[in-house]
Amino acid sequence: MKIMVAVKRVVDYAVKIRVKPDKTGVETHNVKMSMNPFCEIALEEALRIKESGLASEVVAVSMGPAQCVDTLRTGLAMGADRGIHVEATGALYPLSVAKLLKALVEVENPGLLILGKQAIDDDCNQTGQMVAGLLGWPQGTFASKVVLDKENQVATVDREVDGGLETLSLDLPAVITTDLRLNQPRYATLPNIMKAKSKVIKKLTPQELKVEIRSDLEVVQVTEPPKRKAGVIVSSVDELIDKLKNEAHVI
Amino acid sequence: MATRAMLRAFSKPTFPCRTSQYLSLASVSRSASTLVLAEHEAGSIRAPSVSAVVAANVLSKDNSISVLLGGSGPSLQEAATHAASCHPSVSQVLVADSDKFTHPLAEPWAKLVHLVQQRGDYSHIIAPSGSFGKNILPRAAALLDVSPITDVIEIAESDLFVRPIYAGNALCTVRYTGANPCMLTIRSTSFPVPPTLADSKSKEAPISQVDLSTFGEGNSRYINQTSQDTERPDLGNARIVITGGRGLKSAENFKMIEKLAEKLGAAVGATRAAVDAGFVPNDLQVGQTGKIVAPELYMAFGVSGAIQHLAGMRDSKVIVAVNKDADAPIFQVADYGLVGDLFEVIPELLEKVPERK
């Protein structure tokens, strides 16, 4: 079985972002970019499945501008076998990404598609569900544990839901999106980074995949959230209780 | 658009309550008809779903709001009755009664939404952005070939929405320019349910069953669920939330947080560090990837205030931080900060805070 993993290049999670003065978006020029943390977890899970002998190949795919190749290269250094880059400029919303993924799935025929549960830039939490819907595959979102049964062609997935954990059984092929607690992604070692340079990254365009990139969303403006007014430092528990009682009236 | 309106005007309205919209074409383009995907539990609609009805009301004044429920058994019927009177603006309750919906699996639910949309031609479909809505709504949106909008915190116009991006460090205003339906998940803390609503049982909307005769089999199955039984209020709706971070050092120490929460009638939250260290279960995590809360009082103990945590609590009315590191970023958002050792502060608070009323 082949596993396909979708990875996204985003502003590094530790960066304090800046909104552009013209309100058209967030400054990404000269800002550290990395693989989306949830995508790292997705890739790690695929690699573990392969290492346990349940998958034969891990293909990492990414959509977006030329620099996505760097993100794919990181994925290859972690251990993915090869990469596919769908080069697309301009805004790509989850619906388009899901359609591109569906087209890639039809070419590659993976038995499992793993994605992160959300990208930390747009915070959409949509792509995995949408591609599952387009493919008619079952979905196991917000996964914190994945167990594959190759013989019966099912995946048992523990999901992080509002009230606790939920366990589902999915017929393969299926789409899984990863939550934070699924695993601890590995670091790429230097020899693997060197090896990754000779791995193949295939380049495709949306036209070649016969996917029309259109959008039914328009970003009107991006602004900074309202600032909270400065607080005070109190010196004792008594003062704190007094403030909460008599100033804020919350206890 | 004109053809669409014409088609709608001439098609036989499926639901009688929507006929008023066909009286004039001008009002068709202005008014909204909204489908709310609701979650129910123990015979009543969950609070975030009522928030989704509140949001539907913000969309348009003359909105015809249908609430969709799925499930089986007597608790579904009870929940339908509750849905019919949960908000005066609910004009219809649609019930999908089948054991396929006993558990909220995405596959049958997305198909159900697709089916109901084809029959009802709603202008908007809304769900609260909990794990239920986030799981189902995007899948249904893909089936309908439209872009959904996640975690809306403000509705400016019926097609203009504000949502946080980059862990709440920027607010993005988006316009939906696509075909019907416009699909949203809403952040329930941004659309609070007025407390007076509970007494207004004057109006009851009609309840009707969704015809499921064309419904096929699914390819996923529910196995089980492990949930935390707790006496404390629900994290998402609590008036006071008390959160512990890595500074608590152990699950044993975390009990101090629980004691304080009990005394104040508060819900307990945690940071990712506290969850990863095994102090508390994952469903208590507050932050970008956990729960989003906006209580009247948020008290953070031993929480440094990472970007990802702030994303989940920055809209709280009053924030209190107790940390021994005076430079911890949490103090930049705290209304009241106390620099000190939480192992001294919490016992003192336990002794001195007033008992909950």
Q: Per-residue pLDDT tens for B184-219?
A: 999 999 999 988 766 555 678 999 999 998 888 888
Phi, psi of B280 (to 5 degrees): -145, 160
CB of A7 closer than 8 Å to CB of A69: no
Chain A residue numbers with beta carbons less than 8 Å from the beta carbon of B134 are 125, 129, 141
Chain A residue numbers with beta carbons less than 8 Å from the beta carbon of B316 are none
Strands B40-41 and B149-152 turn out to be unpaired
The predicted structure's pLDDT at residue A247: 93
The predicted structure's pLDDT at residue B17: 42
Measured CA to CA, the distance from residue A236 to residue A234 in angstroms comes to 6
DSSP secondary structure letter of residue A23: S
Looking at beta carbons, which pairs linking B313-318 to residues 24 or more positions away fall under 8 Å?
A: B313/B241, B313/B243, B313/B269, B313/B286, B313/B287, B314/A225, B314/A228, B314/B168, B315/B189, B315/B190, B316/B241, B317/A248, B317/A250, B318/A244, B318/A248, B318/A250
Measured CA to CA, the distance from residue A103 to residue A126 in angstroms comes to 17
A183 reaches B (C-beta below 8 A): no
CB contact under 8 A, A168 and B160: no
Which contiguous run of DSSP H or E holds residue B78? Answer: helix B74-85
CA distance B274 to chain A (A): 12
Mean pLDDT (whole number) for A214-238: 94
CA distance A190 to chain B (A): 28
CB of A202 closer than 8 Å to CB of A85: yes
Token digits for A161?
Answer: 């839901």
Which residues 6+ apart lie within 8 Å of B357 measured at CB? B265
Measured CA to CA, the distance from residue A146 to residue A155 in angstroms comes to 7
For B196-223, b/e burial (b = at least 16 CB within 10 A) is eeeeeeeeebebeebebeebeebbbeee
Q: Identity (one letter) of the amino acid at B249? A: K
Each residue's pLDDT tens digit, B136-161 = 999 999 999 999 999 999 999 999 99
Token digits for A23?
Answer: 């309100």
The predicted structure's pLDDT at residue B213: 87
The predicted structure's pLDDT at residue B261: 96
Q: Which residues of chain B have pLDDT under 50?
A: 1-29
Q: Please state, in angstroms and as integers, the Cα–Cα distance from residue B181 to each residue in A178, A199, A206, following that order.
A: 28, 44, 26
Measured CA to CA, the distance from residue A88 to residue A205 in angstroms comes to 7
The predicted structure's pLDDT at residue B199: 56
In the stretch 6-65 of chain A, residues with CB closer than 8 A to chain B read 11, 13-14, 16-17, 19, 26
- Cβ-based contacts under 8 A for chains A and B: 256
**Closest of B16, B13, B18, B14 to residue B34, by C-alpha:** B18
The predicted structure's pLDDT at residue B98: 94
Lay out the sheet containing A2-6: strands in order across. Answer: A201-204, A82-87, A57-64, A2-6, A112-116, A174-178, A139-149, A154-161, A164-171, B220-227
Please, what is the angle between helix B342-352 and helix A237-246, to 10°?
Answer: 50
B141 reaches A (C-beta below 8 A): yes
Measured CA to CA, the distance from residue B59 to residue B34 in angstroms comes to 9
Matching residue, tokens 């992160």: A116
CB of B233 closer than 8 Å to CB of B239: yes
Measured CA to CA, the distance from residue A137 to residue B133 in angstroms comes to 18
ipTM above 0.90, yes or no: yes
CA distance B326 to chain A (A): 10
Residue A11 has pLDDT above 50, yes or no: yes
Measured CA to CA, the distance from residue A44 to residue A186 in angstroms comes to 7
Torsion, CA A98, CA A103, CA A109, CA A110, rounded to 10: -20
CB contact under 8 A, A233 and B110: no
Mean pLDDT (whole number) for A141-168: 95
The rounded mean pLDDT for chain A is 96
For residue A102, what is the nearest residue in chain B, using CA coordinates? B142
Q: Is A166 helix (H, G, I), strand (E, B) or coil?
A: strand
Residue B355, exposed/middle/buried by CB under 10 A (0-12, 13-18, 19+)?
A: exposed
Strands A9-11 and A33-35 turn out to be antiparallel
Residue A114 has pLDDT above 70, yes or no: yes
Phi, psi of B22 (to 5 degrees): -90, 0
Measured CA to CA, the distance from residue A215 to residue A93 in angstroms comes to 7
